[in-house]
Structure 1
Amino acid sequence: MKISTYSADELQKSYGIDVTSLDTGAAARLGVAAAWVDIEPGARSEAHQHDETETWVVVSGTGELTVGVGKHPVRAGTVVQFEPFETHSVENTGDTPLVLLSLYWRDADRAAHAAGGPGDRRFGTRPLFVFSSAPTPNGDLHLGHLSGPFFGADVFVRYQRMNGADAWHLTGSDDYQNYVVAAARREGREPAETAAHYSAEILATLRLMDIDVHQYTATSRDDAYPDALRAFFSRLTDSGTVAPRAGAALFDAVTGTYLFESGVTGRCPTCQAETGGNVCEACLEPNVCTDLVDPRSTASDAPPRAGTVTRYTLPLHRLAEDIAAHHRLGRVPAPVKELAERLLRREHLDIPVTHPAGWGVRPAGTEAEGQVIWSWLDYAYSILHGIESLGRGLGRSWRADAPEQDWKIVHFLGSDGSFFHPMFVPALYRIAHPDWTPDIDYHINEFYLLDNSKFSTSRRHVIWGKDVLSPRTVDSIRFYLALTRPEGRRTNFEHDAYETYVRQTLIGSWQGWLNGLGDRIEKRYGGAAPDAGTWTPEHTAFLARLDTRLRLLTGSLGPDGFSLNQAAETLNGIVEDVTAFARLQAPAADVDSCKDEARTAIALELAAARLLAACAAPVMPRFAARLAAALGGPPPTAWPRTVTLVPAGTPIDLTRQEFFATPGAPEQDPAPQAEAAPQAEAAPQLGPEGTGPLLLPWLSDLVRHTLRLPSDAPVRDSTLVQMGMESLQVIALQYQITEQVGADVSIEDLLGDKSVAELAALIADGAEPDALAAHQEVTA
């Protein structure tokens, strides 16, 4: 027997409260780890989560337990058990110490199950507001923009909706940005006109990209917005935390214009990189313009002059603990936490939130005469305003001035917003709505480069969305951006690499397999899905492999492990798996004794196609709908829980489907030109003793038939790879060559760099004499 007694003298700080572990011997006899917890009146533990299962037994006192966003009263005699990874904290709401015994242990199976499930985050049971960071309406969207927050948010929402979540994609135009004024001046327009013009262009480009936006807030064209923003600002000033403070400022030496954001450049005071005003894109730290090294005005060549101005200012350093607590609640990438720790080590971090300017919303009162509310504070409120506007259209009672604890917010943003979104904005919410604990996840992408340098409109180093997006190309672009978008590191877009990938992978492999599968089903099963017959170990192993791919995709598109890079790789992995499986099954496809096994193999290929359609739906909705229709079903609307076979007898229409357009091809392909007459194909003499040209007309027709090309399509000087032929079709072609002329030609030769005319010569070299003689008679 071992007895351990609670002793206040042994308490030590852990998670912000007093904790003492039971000694090793006592804990071992209990069979679990154990600790006493003592929370003083008014104290609160830090929100945290861990892989252990934990049970609390409240011994004395009263308090309030928070699990995720739910709150529960506790008192002496309460017993609580936490599943692995449940975020929890407790506050002492009484006048005496809250004492509890914590028992915790590791259960690997339980932890693995919890890690793979939704846990306490309840994505499917509460409203889910997914924001892509509002674009500045000073230009249209290029591929760099599209690859980031907009695309990420769109796929995220599509996946959540397939899983039954009440999910919505919200964004808008950040009209009151200082950069809009710069664009208006450059283009000879008023800021409001410029914002309206580019906001419309941005929306049109998002539609071309098949990005669904359920609430788009154009702040300068919403009549209710200015007064609502002023009311939010007054909440901040009424708290006393945001107040007028005199501080240093920069002014243009010629015009006297106050300089901030796009009006000033210089070197970052932290990393020395070239930067604009208010934030550095290199180290992501904010600046206040006066701290720039060698500042320069963008309005004149004269060095800026220093001055003083009184602005409303937020002392962000005072909210360091609140920001840290916010980061413990939701999904916050490690680089953001590192940036926060770096910034909040500063003794002072005073951020002006009003600026002398003519474009923007002026705050109520006279303390900031001639100033407007800073666009980043404006943006913080626009998030809440967008939720209220969305709710109004849906008949929901969501209010911007009374945010609800049950709201789940997810932000998709570029890395240059790593200070503003996860630090500055939640600090403002803490001041304006102290009783609200916003539950926000952050998904951040780095910069997408074009030919290894940043997209730049000024240098015309850019690919505009409208220049490349169309109904026939949008799926290819969405998939390639998913595969290469900058997640956790900068990545690069190269147009030639994109076109090669589309030709070789999406057309050559994906479409080639699907067309070939349709061809085989037409020939062997009359165009209808066969029922599975006899199952071999290879069949069951392949089914298990498909299930593994499904689980990988579920994790890649889920809220905790969301990664479009991984999702795209796994989608392509399905095709790689099924083409390898089909290639191994092909030799027995026409063996009479294996016909029951052969139809199982085809049924499994169709199951893979069905899985591909369902799992591709968030990433490539048009492709998914077209593929599902070709498999005899409606567009996918629910995320699959398991791999299922296509019902036997379902009509299959895969053979002549175009799922991906050839890069550079016109929207409407012209009629193919007629191929030259056989006499033209017969010259030059390619085979031994001139026999190669004898087989060229035959081989050309065979290739056209196998690839389902028009009867007069030119093929003589093309390789099989150039025509989009893939391995399964090549196997069929290889069999027919052997059967018809007796020549044994390797797959490597067929998929090499030989044209059809050169292949005819190679085949003639190994063909049976009778076959050559027969072709001699045909061409004589």
Structure 2
Amino acid sequence: MIISSYDAGALSAALGIGMSGIDGLGVGAAWGRVGPGGATTPDRHDETEVFVIVSGHGDVLVDGVRHPVTAGTVAGFEPFETHVLENTGDDDLVFATLYWRDAPRAALAAGRTGQRHDQRPQFVFSTPPTPNGDLHLGHLCGPYLGADAYVRFQRMNGREAWHLTGSDDFQSYVQAAARSEGGTPAETAARNSAEIAATLKLLDAEPDQFTATNADPGYRADLRAFFSRLVASGGITAREAPALFDTASGRYLYEVDVSGGCPGCSGATSGNICEECGEPNSCVDLADPVTADGSTPRTGTATRYMLPLHRHREDIEAHHQRGRVPARLRDLADRVLARAPHDIALTHPSTWGVEPAEPATQGQVIWVWPEMAYGFLHGIQALGRRLGRPWQASAPQDDWRIVHFFGYDNSFYHSVLYPVLYRLAHPGWNADIDYHVNEFYLLDGGKFSTSRRHAVWGKDVLDARSVDAVRYFLARTRPEGRRTNFTWEQFGSAVQDDLIGTWQQWLHHVGDRLEREFSGTTPDAGLWRPEHSAFLARLETRRRALTEALDRDGFSLNRAAEELHGLVTDAARFSRTETTSGSERRRGEARTTMALELAAARLLARCAAPVMPRFAGRLSGALGDQPPTTWPEFVELLPPGTKADLAGQVFFTPIGADAP
């Protein structure tokens, strides 16, 4: 017999609270105490765990959903469920925890991680582009295609998900573009914002909410209110600090106005952020800084609102325990926080942007990057008004799941700066955010660049005939975890070899045989040979792999495109090896072969829908099937007697290697 009693004197720090072990039970066990107003750090592991509440009361948050607990409550957690225990009372919350490894249970949970009982509304953001130009393929392959495919898959699985973006009108790069064009920043932003929205439409990636910040009538006032909350928190203060100025004009310099050597990686960088290593700079710490005209700036001082980022290490680390945060983002946070003390200027002297309400910043604007932290909440509020939902930017909720798609050069802002700003402005909000980051997409070995016009513009290649081919190629080659390169030759070859030479050729072959042998009508399966059941199992393996590639935790368009192509190559191989001569003696086997090939085509249509929606719809129609609105839970044969017309369909057309 083993008896263990709670002993406050035996507690030591663990998981952000006091804990002590219980030995000899055969499973992991411990006592825990959460003080009034306290909480455990977010925990997520492969063990099954049970909390037994002994005294006190509070809330347990499981994957962001809040449940009240009190003395006598038993709460069980499946493997990989993120859980936090909060004390909402005035006395200690005391609990016992038991935890153990169950390999089959963990494996089952891992297979349904993104599909568990999480039915919270999902707000999926692609980073608002800078309207200093239109969108090119480097933009489209990353945040915009990613967010669109993610939302389509979530909706096919019955979950509420919306794609939100807009135009980041108050960027300093917009002001620089306006100067070079001889117009005003407002004119430049409005013109390019409209072009951006039109290009997203051509990509079949129209967002559910598109916010043009300079044109939104309530945006400025609400942004000022958010900034005032930051000031009222005491977490940011107006103080004098070193800054760079143009020697001739005395103009304050930041971002696009200045460049030099990055203090983090020593590579060449513009002001405030390094695209190579992702680390921020304060401009005055650049090595050998130069202005846009090549002159050497002078160092002076400016009074701006400053955030001492190094004081928020615990908040950042706790936030990174809560959602999907790739290792490279966590490493970036570690590098930045190791540079303590590290202050971030949240306002800058400028004539373009939104001025705070605070008099200490007269002549300054809220820097567009911290502004964006509010902009995401504003987008949710604007979407809610249209949908009749009670979502307020001033009162974000724990049951919101936010999903961000962005390029690595924006990583610091999204995954380090914004969690701190949210904690200051809304201290009671446990922001649950997933991050999906892409690296740079190169064009003939060099970075896509709007300002340098080194780009393939979306409008140059997208139309109703090409959009699915573009989406397929970008999904196959987008830079996930590594930089990748676009060439017209590779794009044309992928369309010709994959989509026309493999996909379309196989579908035509199936259609020809269906017409010739079964008068265009889907047969019922007949005699099943071992090869038939093995192919059905292979299709099911592809279905599961595609589910994992498109779901929340394992999302990868590279893998999804590879699996779609693998599904077709499997089917084409099966067709080559199992097509019989058509003799009456083999009629039963031929029926099964045809039924399985049509089942493979049906699976292709449904699983391609998030990545290639037009192709998926046309293929479903050619199969005499319903539009692919739900994700398949298993491989299904087409109903016998269904009329299908595959032989004459042109799903893809060639793309020349000398395309514009």
TM above 0.5, yes or no, is yes
Give the secondary-structure state (helix, strand or coil) at the position aligned to 1:220: coil
2:444 to 447, 451, 474: 451
The offset of 1:71, in angstroms, is 2.8
AA partner of residue 284 (structure 1): G
Q: Which region of structure 1 is more displaced relative to structure 2, 171-180 or 34-43?
A: 34-43
Tell me which residue corresponds to 2:174. 180
Work out the CA distance in 2 between the residues paired with 1:458 and 1:407: 36
Shift of 1:458: 5.6
Task: Give, as a single letter, the amino acid of the residue that structure 2 aligns with 1:13.
Answer: A
**Aligned counterpart, 2:109:** 114
Counterpart check, 1:83 vs 2:78: yes
Aligned pair partner of 2:646 in 641, 651, 654: 654
List alignment gaps of at least 5 residues for structure 1. Answer: 668-780
Is 1:295 matched up with 2:295?
A: no
Match 1:630 to one of 615, 622, 625: 622
Mapped partners of 2:614, 2:636: distance in 1: 21
> Could you give the per-residue CA deviations for residues 678-702 of structure 1, whole angstroms, max 9, x where no partner exists?
xxxxxxxxxxxxxxxxxxxxxxxxx
Give the Cα–Cα distance (whole angstroms) in 2 for the partners of residues 460 and 405 of structure 1: 42
* CA displacement at 1:346 relative to structure 2: 3.0
Stretches (4+) displaced over 6 A: none
How far does the alpha carbon of each residue in 1:215-264 deviate from its partner, in whole angstroms, 9 at most, with x for none?
Answer: 10001111211111111111111122222111111011112111001010
Separation in structure 2 between the aligned mates of residue 192 and residue 576 of structure 1, nearest angstrom: 51
Q: Which residue of 2 aligns with 1:481?
A: 474
437-446 or 83-92, larger mean C-alpha shift? 83-92
Residue 9 of structure 1 deviates from its aligned partner by 5.3
d(CA) in 1 for partners of 2:88, 2:463: 59
Give a deviation string over 1:93-146, Cα, whole Å, max 9, x none.
4555433222111112211222222579754x2221100000000011111111
Provide the residue aligned with 1:52 in structure 2: 47
Check the 8 A contact 1:361/1:373 in 2, yes or no: yes
Count of aligned residue pairs for this structure pair: 659
- 3-state SS of 1:27 partner: coil
Partner-residue secondary structure (3-state), 2:419: helix
In structure 1, distance between residues paired with 2:451 and 2:220: 32
For the 8 Å contact 1:209–1:469, the answer to whether it is kept is yes
Q: Aligned equivalents of 1:499 and 1:640: distance in 2?
A: 31
CA gap 1:142/1:95 in 2 versus in 1, 3 angstroms:
closer
Greater relative contact order (CA < 8 Å, ≥ 6 in sequence): 2
User: Structure 1, residues 46-75: CA drift from partner, whole Å, max 9, x if none?
Assistant: 111111111122233434322222333333
Label 1:411 to 1:122 Cα distance change in 2 as closer, same or farther (>3 A).
farther
C-alpha separation between the residues in 1 aligned to 2:55 and 2:384? 44
CA contact (8 A) 1:589 1:595 kept: no
Whether 1:406 aligns to 2:399 is yes
Give 2:22's aligned residue: 22
1:653-680, Cα deviation, whole Å (9 max, x unpaired) = 111111111113999xxxxxxxxxxxxx
Q: Is the 8 A contact 1:530 1:603 kept in 2?
A: yes
Aligned to 1:435: 428
CA–CA separation in structure 2 for the residues paired with 1:457 and 1:376: 19
What aligned pairs does 1:538-553 form with structure 2 within 5 A after superposition?
538-553=531-546
Find out whether 1:570 has 2:563 as its counterpart.
yes
Task: Report the more deviating stretch, 149-158 or 630-639.
Answer: 630-639
Closer/same/farther in 2, CA of residues 401 and 627 from structure 1, 3 Å limit: same
How far apart are the structure 1 equivalents of 2:166 and 2:37?
A: 41
Whether contact under 8 Å (2:2, 2:25) holds in the other structure is no
Q: 1:199 aligns with which of 189, 193, 196?
A: 193
Which residue matches 1:171? 165
Residue identity opposite 2:456 in structure 1: I
> Which residue pairs with 2:517 in the alignment?
524
Q: CA deviation at 1:638?
A: 0.7
Aligned: 1:260 with 2:254: yes
Whole-Å separation in 1 of the counterparts to 2:651 and 2:374: 43
The 3 A distance-change label for structure 1 pair 297 and 499 is: same
CA contact (8 A) 1:391 1:398 kept: yes
Aligned to 2:221: 227
CA distance in 1, matches of 2:136, 2:81: 40
1 CA distance for matches of 2:284 and 2:137?
34
Give the structure-1-normalised TM-score. Answer: 0.82
- The residue number in structure 2 matching 1:767 is none
Q: Deviations over 1:436-488 (max 9, x none)?
A: 11111110000011122212356553211111111111111100110110011
| Aligned partner of 1:310 among 303, 306, 313 | 303
Residues 225, 5 of structure 1: CA spacing in aligned structure 2 closer, same or farther, 3 A cutoff? closer
| RMSD over aligned Cα atoms | 1.8
| 1:380 lines up with 2:378 in the alignment | no
User: Deviation digits for residues 269-291 of structure 1, max 9, x if unmatched?
Assistant: 11110000110011111011111
CA distance in 1, matches of 2:73, 2:394: 35
Name the counterpart of 2:388: 395
Q: Deviations over 1:313-347 (max 9, x none)?
A: 11222222111111111111111111112222333
Secondary structure, in 3 states, of the residue corresponding to 1:575?
helix
Q: What is the CA-CA distance between 1:429 and the residue it aligns to?
A: 1.2
- Compared CA separation, residues 466 and 526, structure 1 to 2 (3 A): same
| Gap regions ≥5 residues in structure 2 | none
Match of 1:642 in 2: 634
Shift of 1:311: 0.6
Mapped contact 2:347–2:364 kept (Cα < 8 A): yes
Change (3 A) 1:437 1:306: same
Alpha-carbon distance in 2 for matches of 1:491, 1:544:
33
State the alpha-carbon separation in 2 of the partners of residues 665 and 310 from structure 1: 55
